[in-house]
Structure 1
Amino acid sequence: MGNTPSKSDGGYEPPKTTLFEKEPSGVTYRIPALVYLRRSGTFLAFAEKRTSSRDSDAKVLVMRRGLQRDDGSVQWLSSEELPMACLPNHRTMNPCPVFEKNTRTLFLFFVCILGHTSENRQIITGKNKTRLCYISSGDDGHTWNEAEDVTQSVIGETIHKWATFAVGPGHGVQLENGRLVIPAYAYYIPYRCFCFPVPHTVYPRALTVYSTDFGKTWHMGKMLHKRSCECEMAEIIDHEGRSHLYCNARNFGGYRREALSENSGVFFDKPRMARELVEQPRGCQGSVIGFPPPEFIPSEDAESKASDTSPLSPDTQTWLLFMHPTSKHCRRDMGVYLNRSPLHSRGWDRPWIIHSGPSGYSDLAYNRENDQFSCLMECGKESELEQIAFMSFTLKEVMQTNRKTC
């Protein structure tokens, strides 16, 4: 099962702009995160700067600022490090930004891990060496406050039941009710023997970190009941105006994991396998974003969907876009999937390949003013670790591509 990747005639791929590129010294940039700040027409692109490609060699977060021009192009400024996003003797990983529109505050969440302690070592020993932190900015990322370590106030004693954890990576979301949601996951320890986790019982589960007071205080939701790892979330508004929080998570069973929450992420009901979204054997992070559907759907597209098995149902005021490598075997051929009926279990279109070749982690952003999507993605010719590139495209391009391949 799973959707078959598709290309438009001629294999059109939107042009890319390289923002971060592997250096001859071995310095590697990984784990992209992207946020679009509507008020100032600004993109902020984040990544980890590592001394090598290894997770244990992560060093500091970096950022590039992109200014949206009137002609639709983006002017990118030089890269800058974020030394305030750190704790002493820790390395910083997994950037996860979210913008709070009422106070106009940008929060950048991340995790700090002690020294070079690997994720695998924490899982084997059951000794958690990770801290939950964020920095915030009131001027669209020009200046930042010092790092806040909120591990104790958010996770508390529960951390002793987690081998390790992380946020995102990728963007968070603000719901229509004002709640801020940061996607996260933790390696839960169900059983211990002589203080060590029982082998093969520790596996990741997705959850939320959320705030109901514009970011003053943060809380932790309940974990999914099924295996689920790195995740992103999006709000779906149905035709009656009710909110559903959608979770799309990395998985290890050949397909992605999906779940819905009816209480803004406090807990998720009935996680399911997304059998239209393939997953590589070891999994890979993916990005998802919600957006309002167009007022008018081209007649050709509506007719093609009417004959397809995926319903074109007006049951929501939200469509979803998902981005992830489309190969079943390895991280390559980055694809964009459209879902016009996100409350159905079989709503995903076949993907449009926007980068043929090695592809890895990604993040999506949406600009309402020009109905344009933008993304960051790890990609290259020989390896997905060669660069992190920026790309923009429209919903019309996505829909036309899918229509041509029906």
Structure 2
Amino acid sequence: MGAPRVPTRTVLFQSERSGLTYRVPALLPVAPGPTLLAFAEQRLSPTHPKDHGGCNQQPLPSADWATFAVGPGHGIQLRSGRLLVPAYTYHVDRRECFGKICRTSPHAFTFYSDDHGQTWRHGGLLSNLRSGECQLAVVDGGRAGSVLYCNARSPLGSRVQALSTDEGTSFLPGELVPTLAETARGCQGSILGFPAPHSNRPGDEGWSVGSRKTPFSPNLCPGAHKSPKEWAGDTQRGGGVDGTKGCGGGTELSGDPSPGPELSGDGRAWSLQLPRLPAALPQSPTWLLYSHPAGRRARLHMGVHLNRSPLDPHSWTEPWVIYQGPSGYSDLASIGPTPEGSLTFACLYESGTRVSYEEISFCVFSLREVLENVLPGPEPTGLGNKPWEQCWPS
């Protein structure tokens, strides 16, 4: 068994000697693609956003919220056209302690718009468990129809997940995901849904996650190691990935801040040659990818996990570590299939040699590489084959 491959890494944002730090990455694919917009916050220090000399105060959506924030990372758009922005609030659990708020708890929720962003409303809180920074994905539940999946940061020792059957207007009770451990103080993580591949080689030998018997060389152009160029403006910096323009499966990073639709779950036809998966493992029409530091005590080693049965919180694989060292917040994007038929992903993540906020790195990898490098998780519980009413969180 060979050592897992590590994707080529390109540094796009780097802390400066003046003390300016770049944190909280966001990655957005835009049509006609593959074009990615990479964003980051410029801060005077790692923990405080840059002060522009003023504050644009907005009323809180509820008298019971102490504060709220959106993201980090990307939002999604549903087939109905609804725009969804993941968010979280600190709910006021007890207000009166000598005239001051004395107890709050974090809870994830969504902002949604049904008129292309002209007006926004907030959905109900994920109320039964403390949950914070979150991301969303649409999961095809087969006979159950599509549901909205939320994966959130939590101070409870592991991630929290919750489902919504009304497009994010409300969430069913959340549950802990024991196979996705949190760091000591928790950390933001990214979630991405995409169509499960279909093998069209019925004669392939049986295969399982974590197997690395057959070497695989992805058709991806190598990343560059040139220093990133300054973006216009004083709040963002970025640069392109050399050697990707005009080559098969390449990706262009653009400095154009124009927004665009989320392209995860590309529905175009493509034929990816994959070995068959074990029949004992229930599969879903939608798979999930998740990025988060693999360290349990500190923000170390950026890992990528795969879930082929998203309604089962126990079916996550162990991580494929794509960066060894301090790492923090991240954002995933689906680039779509290459001309050779391999679905590819991009990851923008905080990294460093001493601390996780020294730089923000970018890498590209294929689904085949994920399948070759993730380690098997616990035995699946088979929720994917149970009736829908048994899939609700307990």
Q: What TM bracket, shorter-length normalisation?
A: 0.7 to 0.9
Mapped to 2, the partners of 1:356 and 1:388 lie a distance apart of 14
In the alignment, is residue 283 of structure 1 matched against residue 252 of structure 2?
A: no
Of 21, 42, 46, 2:35 maps to: 42
Mapped to 2, the partners of 1:11 and 1:256 lie a distance apart of 25
* Counterpart AA for 2:182: E
Q: 1:350 to 1:190 in 2, by over 3 A?
A: same
1:71-220 alignment runs, 5 A limit: 89-90=54-55, 131=58, 156=61, 158=62, 160-193=63-96, 194-198=98-102, 201-220=103-122
Q: Secondary structure at the match of 1:378?
A: strand
Please report how far the alpha carbon of residue 395 of structure 1 lies from its aligned counterpart in structure 2 after TM superposition. Answer: 0.5
Structure 1: unaligned runs, 5 residues or longer:
1-7, 61-87, 91-111, 113-129, 132-151
Please report how far the alpha carbon of residue 179 of structure 1 lies from its aligned counterpart in structure 2 after TM superposition. Answer: 1.3
* Counterpart AA for 1:338: L
Q: Please identify which structure carries the higher strand content.
A: 1
Check conservation: 1:311, 1:341, Cα contact below 8 A. no
Please report how far the alpha carbon of residue 309 of structure 1 lies from its aligned counterpart in structure 2 after TM superposition. Answer: 11
Mapped to 2, the partners of 1:397 and 1:342 lie a distance apart of 20
Moved more, 377-386 or 38-47: 38-47
Check conservation: 2:315, 2:377, Cα contact below 8 A. no
Matched residue, 1:318: 286
Please report how far the alpha carbon of residue 302 of structure 1 lies from its aligned counterpart in structure 2 after TM superposition. Answer: 4.6
Of 288, 313, 319, 1:345 maps to: 313
Moved more, 201-210 or 289-298: 289-298
In the alignment, is residue 272 of structure 1 matched against residue 265 of structure 2?
A: no
* Regions of 4+ moved over 4 Å: 302-305, 308-311, 403-406
Deviations for 1:128-174, whole angstroms, at most 9, x for unmatched residues?
xx64xxxxxxxxxxxxxxxxxxxx5xx54x1x321111001000011
1:213-292 alignment runs, 5 A limit: 213-225=115-127, 226-240=129-143, 242-292=145-195
Check conservation: 2:22, 2:43, Cα contact below 8 A. yes
In the alignment, is residue 379 of structure 1 matched against residue 379 of structure 2?
A: no
Please report how far the alpha carbon of residue 191 of structure 1 lies from its aligned counterpart in structure 2 after TM superposition. Answer: 1.9
Q: Secondary structure at the match of 1:368?
A: strand
* Counterpart AA for 1:318: T
Mapped to 2, the partners of 1:12 and 1:263 lie a distance apart of 40
* Counterpart AA for 2:9: K
Deviations for 1:352-386, whole angstroms, at most 9, x for unmatched residues?
00011100000000012321100100001111111
Q: 1:403 to 1:222 in 2, by over 3 A?
A: closer
Deviations for 1:29-62, whole angstroms, at most 9, x for unmatched residues?
000000111314311011100112122x4347xx
Mapped to 2, the partners of 1:268 and 1:396 lie a distance apart of 33
Check conservation: 1:48, 1:59, Cα contact below 8 A. no
Q: Which has the higher contact order (CA 8 A, sep 6+)?
A: 2
Q: How many residues align?
A: 305
In the alignment, is residue 327 of structure 1 matched against residue 233 of structure 2?
A: no
Of 287, 295, 298, 2:198 maps to: 295
* Counterpart AA for 2:306: L
Mapped to 1, the partners of 2:30 and 2:176 lie a distance apart of 33
Please report how far the alpha carbon of residue 243 of structure 1 lies from its aligned counterpart in structure 2 after TM superposition. Answer: 1.4
* Counterpart AA for 2:369: E
Please report how far the alpha carbon of residue 177 of structure 1 lies from its aligned counterpart in structure 2 after TM superposition. Answer: 2.0
* Counterpart AA for 2:93: P
Mapped to 2, the partners of 1:265 and 1:33 lie a distance apart of 21
Please report how far the alpha carbon of residue 300 of structure 1 lies from its aligned counterpart in structure 2 after TM superposition. Answer: 3.7
In the alignment, is residue 15 of structure 1 matched against residue 8 of structure 2?
A: yes
Mapped to 2, the partners of 1:393 and 1:303 lie a distance apart of 17
Normalised TM-score (structure 2): 0.72
Deviations for 1:220-269, whole angstroms, at most 9, x for unmatched residues?
00001110001111110122371111111111121111111111111111
Structure 2: unaligned runs, 5 residues or longer:
212-276, 379-394
Check conservation: 1:187, 1:204, Cα contact below 8 A. yes
Mapped to 1, the partners of 2:120 and 2:72 lie a distance apart of 18
Check conservation: 2:318, 2:375, Cα contact below 8 A. no
* Counterpart AA for 2:27: L
Q: 1:310 to 1:167 in 2, by over 3 A?
A: farther
Q: Secondary structure at the match of 1:301?
A: coil
Mapped to 2, the partners of 1:288 and 1:351 lie a distance apart of 14
Matched residue, 1:33: 26
The percent of aligned pairs where both chains have the same amino acid is: 42
Check conservation: 2:130, 2:156, Cα contact below 8 A. no
Q: 1:311 to 1:349 in 2, by over 3 A?
A: farther
Normalised TM-score (structure 1): 0.70
Mapped to 1, the partners of 2:209 and 2:117 lie a distance apart of 45
Q: Secondary structure at the match of 2:93?
A: coil
Matched residue, 1:109: none
Mapped to 2, the partners of 1:203 and 1:273 lie a distance apart of 16
Mapped to 1, the partners of 2:327 and 2:89 lie a distance apart of 25
Q: Secondary structure at the match of 1:189?
A: strand
Q: Please identify which structure carries the higher helix content.
A: 1
Check conservation: 2:190, 2:291, Cα contact below 8 A. yes
Mapped to 1, the partners of 2:311 and 2:280 lie a distance apart of 11
Please report how far the alpha carbon of residue 403 of structure 1 lies from its aligned counterpart in structure 2 after TM superposition. Answer: 6.4
Please report how far the alpha carbon of residue 402 of structure 1 lies from its aligned counterpart in structure 2 after TM superposition. Answer: 2.8
